[in-house]
Amino acid sequence: MSIAINQPVPADLRVPATGDQTLGPADFQGRIVVLYFYPKDNTPGCTNESRDFAASLDAFQEAGAVILGVSRDSVKSHENFRTKQELPFDLLSDGDETLCNAFDVIKMKNMYGKQVRGIERSTFLIDADGVLRKEWRKVKVPGHVDEVLAALRELAGS
């Protein structure tokens, strides 16, 4: 069963992360979490999306939020991606699809004419009490970070 709007995110959702950590949304209780799922490290759309979030980090932090990126790539791949792109936030490695399944982001997609199972680019806004407040699915990268920031500011009341 996937998490729905206005429902708490289960505290036991934790996966390996960059920086030799194990993290999940509940580790940031008291802070707003922007959790974005992307298909694969070092691909054009995922790189652009991650750079866009990184470029707006100060605005997200001013509104009281932490940004976390999630894909099924390994921690090693994430560390390389994070270093190469100079990403100032942690990336979560969801190889067993724990978070992906909880947020229902695994979908059948067309890739070069073939059906493949993969992550549908999605973003979730979790309030300081750990409750899912907003979601974006089938995200198109251009302008997305601005939409998330506007929703964050509304949620934070700033």
Residue 50: count of CB within 10 angstroms of its CB = 26
CA distances from 64 to 57, 73, 82, 118, 153 (A): 11, 28, 22, 31, 9
In the set 32, 34, 46, 132, the catalytic residue is 46
**Whether 46 is catalytic:** yes
| Residue-by-residue DSSP string for 13-59 | --EEETTTEEE-GGGGTTSEEEEEE-S-TTSHHHHHHHHHHHHTHHH
Q: List the catalytic residues.
A: 46
